[in-house]
Amino acid sequence: MQKILQSLPIALALLAGGCAILDTADETAGPRHPAASERGATPELPAALVPDALVSFETPASLPDPLPPARPDDLWQRIREGFRLPEADDPKVRQQLSYFAARPDYMARVAERARPYLFHIVEQIEARDLPTELALLPVVESAFRPFAYSHGRAAGIWQFVPATGRHYGLTQNWWYDGRRDVLAATDAALDYLERLSELFDGDWLLAVAAYNAGEGRVMRAIERNRAAGRPGDFWSLDLPRETRHYVPRLLALRDLVQAPEVHGLSIPEIPNEPQIATVELDHQIDLALAAELAGITVEQLYQLNPGYNRWATAPEGPHRLVLPLELAEAFRTAVAERPPESWLRWERHRVQPGESLIAIARRYHVTVDALREANDLNGSLIRAGSHLLVPVASRPSGEYALSAGQRLRAQQDRQRAGRERQSYVVRSGDSFWSIARRHGVGVRELAGWNNMAPGDTLRVGQQLAIWTEDAQPVRTARAAPEARLQSVRYTVRKGDSLYAIAQRFNVTVSQLRQWNGLGTGGYLQPGQTLRLRVDVTAQSSR
């Protein structure tokens, strides 16, 4: 009995200890792991004496799996959750925030433009584990305008210049400009940004600065600072003025999206779900027909497929079409019911004596390559009297409202307050600078009126719109007459050469070759007829 009484306090202590562990387990979400000193203070119980509840509690398999985070309904919230760029309390960021706060409608317009594409862009960014602030970069670059074109020759929402676009795989030709193809350009932009991040050791502010200014310029600025014993971070670098405001503008947009209400703004919600689908086709298709089969307007189709310059997809591809998600399946069914040869309208052209593929292509507004492919031609040789199949638009040109030609016409015709329009035909030797100087306008103005950049190439015979402040032609000390081009035929004489004929008519040898389908190794024969486009005003003033 004495031994039993002596053992009773120990048993009571063990039971009390077990109750303490069970009570603690009820208050926590996970198993409790006591410290080593606690484990030494309480003797271990034989397995047979351990309460079932305690065994069950310490078995991880009995714990429920944690619930995945709730998927946000608003795409902007999803973007917020992926922000990773460093905070910056800088006057330039505050200045940009003030700019946005003073324009409450700006983000509403941008959100509406971004709506079709933004989900796709965010998906691609997250798939690469990149900061979601990059989804805001098209706001800085182009305000999400897919047809944006800068004075520096940059195009599309990501504003690729021609050389960089080609380097990252963006095709650019008469039919198609991949810089404006939102899907293709997004892939290229993220490839470029990833490479810049690696180049600058994961410093995203430097990577974004290099996207704007060029990696070489940013690297040289870092090297100058290091040589002078100064820091090499973005805020310490001597960079172009545009770049010094470019990065703060992105950070200001991040702050604005993070807490729009703090800045007195409201950003329209965008559903966190796909808005578009892609349909891959095997052949060229008229965009008016595609719009009809999809049940949308031609203009809506161009807005979703801004990479296409003309009235159809490119002969060599891509043939991919982006459509509203809810219409894609019906379009696939409708287009499958039509034979591919009916996807384009064809015209049968009889080759006239003296005609070349170049001349026929110009007449029908197609490319020589398109004619070759349609007619299974290997070279440029065609015979008078033979027939060619020529792809032509199925609707009047005005119905392809956002084709390159119609966008140019709309830009040239857009009224400018206090100015009146004049037309000018480019002639040999002209440049933006000489034409602008002759008419008393700015070079950038002149290029912008014609959907061009000052660095773009002018073509002889190209028609430009010039908006002058005076309805009368500008008079200068040596005002040149307006160019008037006229087609003429010239019969080759003994002793003539392409160079001599070009000099005589104030054209170039390459133009003579192009107009007449001449190769580089051919010889002229006396009696041969050449076609020329001659500026008659220049001839009369010689």
Q: Which two tokens stand for residue 188?
A: 């290229």
**pLDDT at residue 4 greater than cutoff 60:** no
* Residue 447: band (very low, low, confident or very high) from pLDDT cuts 50, 70, 90: confident
**pLDDT at residue 521 greater than cutoff 60:** no
**pLDDT at residue 280 greater than cutoff 50:** yes
Using CA atoms, how far apart are residues 476 and 163, in angstroms rounded to an integer?
A: 38
pLDDT at 98: 94
CATH number for the domain formed by residue range(s) 485-540: 3.10.350.10
* Residue 30: band (very low, low, confident or very high) from pLDDT cuts 50, 70, 90: very low
Mean predicted confidence (pLDDT) in 262-268:
91
pLDDT at 361: 85
Backbone angles phi, psi at 302, to 5 degrees: -65, -40
**pLDDT at residue 210 greater than cutoff 60:** yes
Q: Answer yes or no: pTM beyond 0.75.
A: no
Mean predicted confidence (pLDDT) in 465-493:
60
% the chain with pLDDT above 70: 78
Could you identify the residue written with the tokens 């070279």? 379
pLDDT at 393: 74
Q: Give the pLDDT confidence of 387-414 residue by residue, as tens digits.
A: 888 877 766 666 666 566 666 677 767 7
Angle between helices 215-227 and 182-199 (to 10 degrees): 20
* Residue 36: band (very low, low, confident or very high) from pLDDT cuts 50, 70, 90: very low
Q: In whole angstroms, how large is the CA radius of gyration of the chain? A: 35
Q: What are the angstrom distances between the C-alpha of 168 and each of 48, 147, 426?
A: 70, 19, 33
**pLDDT at residue 11 greater than cutoff 60:** no
Mean predicted confidence (pLDDT) in 309-316:
86
pLDDT at 73: 92
pLDDT at 94: 95
pLDDT at 118: 98
Using CA atoms, how far apart are residues 413 and 519, in angstroms rounded to an integer?
A: 39
Higher local confidence (pLDDT), 524 or 109: 109
Angle between helices 215-227 and 204-213 (to 10 degrees): 120
pLDDT at 88: 93
pLDDT at 538: 45
Say whether domain 75-263 belongs to CATH 3.30.910.10. Answer: no
Task: Examine domains 75-263 and 345-393 and report if their fold is the same.
Answer: no
Domain boundaries, the chain: 2-62, 75-263, 276-341, 345-393, 414-468, 485-540
Residue 95 Cα to chain centre, angstroms: 27
N- to C-terminal Cα distance for the chain?
138
- Give me the chain's average pLDDT, please: 81
What CATH class has 414-468?
Answer: alpha beta
| Domain 345-393 fold | Membrane-bound Lytic Murein Transglycosylase D; Chain A (3.10.350)
Contact (Cβ atoms closer than 8 angstroms) between residue 351 and residue 383: yes
DSSP class per residue in 54-70: HHHHT-GGGSPPPPPPP
pLDDT at 520: 60
For the chain, what is the total number of helices (H) and then of strands (E)?
A: 23, 8
pLDDT at 328: 96
Using CA atoms, how far apart are residues 116 and 121, in angstroms rounded to an integer?
A: 10
Mean predicted confidence (pLDDT) in 93-122:
94
Q: Which residues of 265-304 are buried (b: 16+ CB within 10 A; e: fewer)?
A: beeeebebeebbbebebeebbbbbbbbbbbebebebbbbb
pLDDT at 403: 60
**pLDDT at residue 509 greater than cutoff 80:** no
Cis upstream peptide for 318 (omega within 30°): yes
The kind and range of the H/E element at 515 are helix 509-516
The kind and range of the H/E element at 27 are helix 2-27
Using CA atoms, how far apart are residues 266 and 105, in angstroms rounded to an integer?
A: 9
**pLDDT at residue 46 greater than cutoff 50:** no
Q: Give the pLDDT confidence of 267-277 residue by residue, as tens digits.
A: 999 999 999 99
* Residue 485: band (very low, low, confident or very high) from pLDDT cuts 50, 70, 90: low
pLDDT at 501: 81
pLDDT at 27: 35
Q: What are the angstrom distances between the C-alpha of 345 and each of 19, 287, 338, 357?
A: 87, 11, 13, 19
Contact (Cβ atoms closer than 8 angstroms) between residue 263 and residue 93: no
Q: Which residues are catalytic?
A: 141
In this structure, of 294-303, 373-382, 396-405, the range with the lowest mean pLDDT score is: 396-405
% the chain with pLDDT above 90: 43
